[in-house]
Amino acid sequence: MEHTRWNVENGSTESDGLMSTKTKLYPRAENLGLNAYRKRTYYTLLVEQDVLARNKDEADDLFRDGGGINYDRITADLALEDKGVETVVVDANYTSDTGNTEYLGKVVLNPDNDHAQEDGDVVLDAYADEINLTKETV
């Protein structure tokens, strides 16, 4: 049977044939006899975003090109590290769209303001009909 030996003086590992496990744990002499454990936990992350667009196709393009996750921010800072727990890996992978692009409403002049056009007062009307616009119609 092969074992990985911890050097309690400097935290290095020596192996007698077994591939040593890479970890951020730094055992000390007072940890002698303790076991090291690793747990992999998968989380589901929901990203729900909204965008203003001329039509559903443009909205889908905007979501694809300008939305989603900033993968540069998926780092060990995302994980909780307390009571001796050290983060080894944080990863995020795109799995799939789980729903269709949903119409939320249309930007319209505020019907409660008689001077909405002059004031630039607009609201999102969830009851207004969805009308597909092109670049020429806006």
Residues 91, 53: one domain?
yes
Residue 15 has pLDDT above 70, yes or no: no
* Mean pLDDT, residues 15-28 taken together: 62
Total domains present in the chain: 3
Read off the pLDDT of each residue in 85-101 and give the average, rounded to a whole number: 81
Please tell me which residue, 3 or 32, carries the higher pLDDT value: 32
- pLDDT tens digits for 56-89? 999 999 999 999 888 888 888 888 888 888 888 8
Residue 129 covered by a domain: yes
Give the pLDDT of residue 37.
80
| Reported pTM | 0.63
Residue 32 pLDDT > 70: yes
Reduced to 3 states (helix: H, G, I; strand: E, B; else coil), residue 71 is helix
When comparing pLDDT for 87 and 7, which is higher?
Answer: 87
Q: Are residues 92 and 65 in the same domain?
A: yes
Q: Please, are residues 100 and 22 in contact by the beta-carbon 8 Å criterion?
A: no
Clarify whether residues 82 and 111 are in a common domain. Answer: no
In this structure, is residue 119 part of a structural domain?
yes
- pLDDT at res. 65: 93
Residue 22 belongs to some domain of the structure: yes
Q: What is the pLDDT of residue 89?
A: 85
Q: Is residue 138 part of a domain?
A: no
Give the domain range for residue 122. Answer: 103-133
User: Does residue 94 belong to any structural domain of this protein?
Assistant: yes
Instruction: Indicate the burial class of 25 (C-beta count within 10 angstroms; 0-12, 13-18, 19 or more).
Output: middle
Residue 98 and residue 109 in one domain: no
Do 51 and 95 fall within a single domain?
yes
Report the candidate in 53, 55, 83 with the shortest Cα–Cα distance to residue 67.
Answer: 53
| pLDDT tops 70 at residue 6 | no
Looking at the structure, tell me whether residues 49 and 93 fall in a common domain.
yes
pLDDT of residue 42: 84
pLDDT at 118: 94
Q: Has residue 73 been placed in a domain?
A: yes
